[in-house]
Amino acid sequence: MHSDAAFICLWILITNGVFDVKTDEVKSVSVLEGDSVSLNTDVKVQRDDQIRWTFGPQNTRIAEIIKRDQINFIFVSNDGRFRDKLQMDNQTGSLTIRNIRSEHTGLYKLLIIISGKTSLKSFSVTVYAALPSPVITSNSSNCSSSSSSSVSRCVLLCSAVNVSAVTLSWYKGNSLLSSISVSDLSISLSLPLEVEYQEKNTYSCVINNPIRNQTTHLNITQLCHTCAELVQQSHSVVLSVIVIVLIMIVVGGVIYLHQRKCEQTRSEDLAIIEKQSMSEYTQIIYWLQKGDLPQKSLLDVDRTETAVNYQHTIKLKRQISRDY
């Protein structure tokens, strides 16, 4: 405990420039998330030597080696963000961070005391997320005509989702056409490009960070169309619309004719019923005037009446008699 407190005091004095300490420039280290990275001391630890690794603005101790005569003290942090992540070489004091994550981005400081001489090294570690492959889609196609020829133009869109600290670029062959960059924010990027349809031209969309890149090549025949294809598609659309309209007209006509036929049939049926009713009424009036109403079914008429209809006729007779 006392040794640790003394070391902290020494560290504070060194970082504040009280002691003359050999200090190297900060070394930048870039690594892809999920990989391992080694921070080398470039020394070999001997007896009475001491090495300490710290992390972040609070200079939190994460690893240490102290060699004293017959005692070797080795400390490796297994708490918090560094649990099961750190491995230190007990011969050199070099530190390896395994399966590194974005939370391990930051400043690592190395304090070395060898043969009474003190030196300080710093490593700025940046962890980059794995890169997705950019996706190319067709936004639109159109055909522009000139006096000599027609040229098909295609608007393409290259996109990447949930990326940070990357650059998205369009290339024609090896020539850069356009690019867009994003800093630390995790966002979705899109970069448009308008091209002329020419099969001999090769286009590609590239996403990259300082340590890696991903490339998607454009299949222009799949996403873009020639003027002839656009005209054919236009004709197909027009033809489809015409066919649909004709089908609707035919269906509407059939429905209309069917309704008219039903109405005509219903009118004819009503006319027949009305004519029959008038004929029956005329016969009843005739029989009443003669005082000779038949007491049987009207079998001599062109139709056969049921008993119910006959009773109805009797009732009608009585009603008419009262009226007269």
Distance CA 272, CA 67 (A): 124
**pLDDT the model gives residue 46:** 86
Burial class (CB in 10 A: 0-12, 13-18, 19+), 46: exposed
Token couple for 112: 């070395």
Token couple for 89: 């070489």
**Looking at 194-198, 236-240, 251-255, which range is the least confident one?**
236-240
Establish how many alpha carbons lie within 13 A of residue 51's alpha carbon, considering only the half-sphere containing its beta carbon: 26
Distance CA 151, CA 195 (A): 10
**pLDDT the model gives residue 252:** 84
Residue 3 confidence (pLDDT) above 70 = no
DSSP letter (8 states) at residue 309 = H
Distance CA 304, CA 324 (A): 28
Position 260 confidence tier, pLDDT thresholds 50, 70, 90:
confident
What would the pLDDT profile of 12-28 be if each residue is shown by its tens digit? Answer: 555 555 455 567 789 99
Fold of the 2-128 domain: Immunoglobulin-like (2.60.40)
What percent of the chain has pLDDT above 70?
A: 70
Q: 135-225 sits in which CATH class?
A: mainly beta
Look up the pTM and report it.
0.58
Average pLDDT for 190-211: 86
Longest Cα separation, the chain: 153
